[in-house]
Chains A and B, each alone.
Chain A
Amino acid sequence: MGIEQKLGNMGIVTLKLEQVINWSRANAMWPMLFGLACCAIEMMSAQAAHFDMSRFGMELMRASPRQSDLMIVAGRVSRKMAPVLRRLYDQMPDPKWVISMGDCASCGGVFNNYAIVQGVDEIVPVDVYVAGCPPRPEALIHGIITLHEKVKGETLKDWA
């Protein structure tokens, strides 16, 4: 109903370029499979049938960083894993976003000790933090929608 009215006789829609690009980026964001620990199980639950993430465009989780644009760091990052995380982040092509899921990825969580990186933002720049231990699948989806709104608000000046 909506778009046919705008099309008019010639079948042309006028929009800002930013809107089209942001809309297409947000609605087809492919997450990379980066589940580390307990939050990964809630991420898998969010992907499964009960709390479907595919309705937000994330039908497949790509294992390869070259083919994904969203990295959901789900779980605690240990000191041994930190260089691997950075290397995977560097291998992702632009544009890329990072969601830090759970308390351990956001700030170190329950584990304040020698082995865990206290917050994954020491290693990669994070766009959205989702709190919880582990966050409910609905909380993760809320985080993803927040990220979508952030993406939809990006302007040409950011990319130039």
Chain B
Amino acid sequence: MSETYEVTLEELKHLVSERALSGETVLLNMGPQHPSTHGVLRLLLELDGEVIVNCVPDIGFLHTGIEKNMEAKTYEKAAVMTDRLDYLNTIGNVLAYSLAIERLAELDVPPRAQAIRVILVELQRIASHLVWLGTHALDLAAMSVFLYCFREREAILDILEMCSGQRMMTTFFRPGGLWRDVPADFELAVRRFLRSFPARIDMYHALLTKNPIFMDRTRNIGRINAEDAIRWGLTGPSLRGSGPSNDIRKTQPYSGYEQYDFEVPTGTNGDVYDRYLVRMEELRQSLRIIQQALDMLPVGPVRSNNRKYVPPPRAELGTSMEAVIHHFKLWTEGFELPKGAIYSPVESPRGELGVYLESDGGPFPQRVHWRTPSFVHLQALPVLSKGHLVADLVGIIGSVDIVLGDADR
């Protein structure tokens, strides 16, 4: 641990061009600690002056071994680790995991739980896009937008804290529904947010969208056409900026999304500016979804009744022997999923977040794999940044919206 392993040029020779080996171009290390790489990402840049000839990303600086650690815990305990993957979309990760378990076990989720799940996931999408906007604008030298975005985010985190007690790592969704029902002033808080937020989106548009500096720094930067984007595995707003309107909430809906009426914004050019516009429009569409879900919020239970997976309420423990047995089994060994494998994708603010869950019939997962959008999108970074300046690279990284916890798992 005290000695560092030096990666020599010999090992990377196949990645850099001939001009680097002869010394004509400069190899620059944009290190793991950098204010604009949005986390611990290391980029090896090959520069001809200031123009990027090649860019080699090096990830793994935040590798946490979550997949292996989840294999050592029961399903319920492993849900705690899921929040910490993509830490800007915490409740979306728990949704993906709970959906995978529910699909594999064929567990029903009551409609009230589905509606509240949609509301909280869309709020989290807005919160994640706000952090994206704040940091992206900060990298492109618009610092006040950063402060405004974090102010709005506080309102959303207050709502999450009201439901679950935690601002970020909530683990509010459990297999079968929610952990518990939302408190009485949940609806009031969300409606207050819905009233105040559209004016703020207009303010962000007024600050950035027609700003000549912002447009100069983002138009025609990092272009990718639709076919290349699909080949390189881009999904989510990064893909929709190039044209295709593929959104898992529309194509393979989950948790009641088919009931809500919303649009999927797309761009035309596939550059940084279009991806920015797509995400800004997604903020408005998320507000639409929350409005509809809140208006038709059904009453009822918030967790399934299937006692094999869901613990009984404590009031029942005094009267029913079966409840005691179920409680005992769930608390000591945890529930067991039927043997099988499933791949369950959801739409995270970054793209397609998929959980490949395989169970061998026991209480521990046989294999949990997270198909995370940031891991796949980082591969496209060399393609997006070829021929641009180093200053443009900062904008490109921001527009792809990577989160290193997502990429490294």
Contact = CB atoms under 8 A, between A and B. Distances in A.
A-B interaction: yes
Interface of A: 33-38, 40-42, 44-45, 48-50, 61, 63, 75-76, 78-84, 87-88, 110-116, 133-134, 136
Contacts of B146: 48
Contact of B150 (A34, A36, A45, A88): A45
A48 B64 contact: no
A49 B151 contact: yes
Contacts of B63: 78, 80, 115
23 contacts: A33-B33, A36-B39, A37-B87, A38-B405, A40-B39, A42-B167, A45-B154, A48-B151, A61-B35, A63-B34, A76-B62, A78-B64, A78-B408, A80-B60, A80-B63, A82-B1, A83-B4, A84-B33, A87-B4, A111-B66, A111-B81, A113-B68, A115-B65
Classify the interface of chain B: helix, strand, loop or mixed: loop
Contacts of A34: 33
Contacts of A76: 62, 64
A38 B84 contact: yes
Sorted nearest first, the 7 A-B pairs with minimum C-beta distance are A48-B150, A38-B87, A115-B65, A63-B35, A83-B4, A113-B65, A81-B61
A131 B333 CA distance: 30
A55 B295 CA distance: 42
B147 interface: yes
A159 B321 CA distance: 68
A90 B405 CA distance: 26
Contacts of B169: 38, 133-134
- Size class of the B contact interface (CB-based, 8 Å): 35 or more
Nearest to A34: B33
Interface string B140-169: 000000110011011001000000000111
B219 to A, nearest CB: 27
A37 B154 contact: no
A81 B32 CA distance: 8
B69 interface: yes
A134 B160 CA distance: 14
Among A78, A82, A83, the most chain B Cβ lie within 10 Å of the Cβ of: A78
Given A41-B87, A45-B154, A63-B33, 10 more contacts: A33-B35, A35-B39, A41-B88, A42-B167, A44-B150, A78-B60, A82-B1, A83-B1, A113-B65, A136-B167
A5 B168 CA distance: 49
A75 B1 CA distance: 19
Nearest to B58: A80
A83 B60 CA distance: 13
Contacts of B64: 76, 78, 111, 113, 115-116
B80 interface: yes
Nearest to A88: B33
A41 B131 contact: yes
B253 interface: no
